[in-house]
Amino acid sequence: MTSERECYVYIVPPGATEFVTAGRFSVSSTPDGEAVGEFVYGRHYLERDDAVELDPVELRLRRGLYETARMDGLFGAIRDSMPDFWGRRIIERNIGHPQLEEFDYLMQGPDDRAGALGFGLNVEPPAPLRSFNRTLDLERLQATADAVINDMPIIADSAARQVEELMLLGTSMGGARPKTVVKRDQDLWLAKFTRYDDRWNHPRVEHGLLKLAQACGLTVADSDITTVAGRDVLLVRRFDRDRAEDGYRRHRMVSALTLLRSDDSAAARADWSYILLADEIRRVSAEPTADLHELFGRMCFNAAVSNLDDHPRNHAVLAKKRDWRLSPAFDLTPTPVIAIDRRDLAMTCGLFGRYANRENLLSEHGRFLLSEKKATAVVDGIVETVRAEWQSTMRGAGVSDADRKAIAGAFLYDGFFYEKAV
Ligand SMILES: Nc1ncnc2c1ncn2[C@@H]1O[C@H](COP(=O)(O)OP(=O)(O)O)[C@@H](O)[C@H]1O
Ligand SMILES: [Mg+2]
């Protein structure tokens, strides 16, 4: 016997603010544990003038059945719409039993997921979420996030309120850190909280690193700090939402994990590569040269500041209209490890593997459509800016003297400059 779960997939077309039904997705599993996913675009959807593809690699806009046996039957674009570590923790806490199937995680959670997709059991899509928490609700949300992290009971006015609050804690946004989505000045922002076990002020350090990346000429998400009940919260403006007269436009967003047709398993990590990502972006992007130069800059920046958590979920492409472009940079954090000879990025960055080293970064310049001379100018320009400005940028972001000392080892470690990378 096989079991089957299915749902409808909705999408907000470019320029619109309401969902339409794009197709149907199902996963069937056989008794021996094999899962097969199927997706088909709806006939009405394909007839629409504003019909767009769900992603630029796997689910191109055409009639007929798509099938996958990878990742428990999940297509990359659907996996990207699912909660990650933090969101799963909230859902498990809310539902009260951890025996959920992948499909359950897809169906759970409020309508705040990254990108333009939605999922549900009715052929008619639901109305979009109209009310959002505001920054003034952050104190309450932060307290709820603390309780989740500490596995403590949540004190709320009523059981219903408790569930509502839990589920609004960034359930559907990815990532591991505690977060939620709030509305500020009519825009939607991702609010990232502190954790009690943080070794330094994460919100301010991430804010500072985003500003430093910008100072290096990179395109980054807007960010700000707000202080709630004496604790700092990082606000990052969502670049996959834009306010319109009658709601929010939603831009499609696909992670680099999907572009690389990869996943989180140990075996798949061999495909995690800036070089392979560059090849994919060259095919997918409407402005390949500009996007590849930007990607090269980000790779060099991550190596220069030891952002070693630069895995493929922390890179994405975004489609505001029909065309795909590299998204602004997000989730930048320094990892001050002790090693001074060799540090590795999360993705291959040259002929010598993941080694965060200048010579290695330069070794595949052609794949980023850069001459050796230009690539050298980019990496050296980033090094100069990081050297000259990291302290003052961090100070400007309100990072304390003690925290600057704690993260200092992340910037321009010795091994970055070694020649003859091996
Ligand atoms: N500014 C943004 N706009 C839209 N989506 C974002 C933005 N920043 C992050 N995301 C999405 O949310 C996910 C989690 O955010 P991230 O900053 O990576 O959190 P974490 O530190 O927990 O990994 C990302 O993987 C990405 O899909
Ligand atoms: Mg992340």
The per-residue pLDDT for range 189-225, each reduced to its tens digit, is 999 998 888 999 999 999 999 999 999 999 999 999 9
Task: Give residue 315's pLDDT.
Answer: 98
Task: Give residue 220's pLDDT.
Answer: 98
Span from the CA of 172 to the centroid of ligand 2 (angstroms): 13
Span from the CA of 28 to the centroid of ligand 2 (angstroms): 30
Q: Is the pLDDT of residue 379 over 80?
A: yes
**pLDDT tier at 147 (50, 70, 90 boundaries)?**
confident
| Dist. CA 370–CA 278, nearest whole Å | 12
Task: Give residue 229's pLDDT.
Answer: 86
Query: What is the pairing mode between strands 117-120 and 133-134?
Result: unpaired
Q: pTM higher than 0.75 for the full model?
A: yes
Instruction: Tell me the angle at which helices 274-284 and 288-304 cross, rounded to the nearest 10 degrees.
Output: 160
Residue nearest to atom 7 of ligand 1 (CA): 238
The per-residue pLDDT for range 83-100, each reduced to its tens digit, is 888 888 888 877 776 678
Helix (H) and strand (E) counts for the chain? Answer: 13, 15
* 162 Rama sector, left if φ>0, alpha if ψ -120 to 50, beta otherwise: alpha
CB 127 within 8 A of CB 16: no
Pocket of ligand 1 (CB under 6 A): 86, 114, 173-177, 190, 221, 236-240, 313-314, 330-331
C-alpha closest to that of 42 among 58, 65, 19, 26: 65
Residue nearest to atom 3 of ligand 1 (CA): 238
Q: Is the pLDDT of residue 2 over 70?
A: no
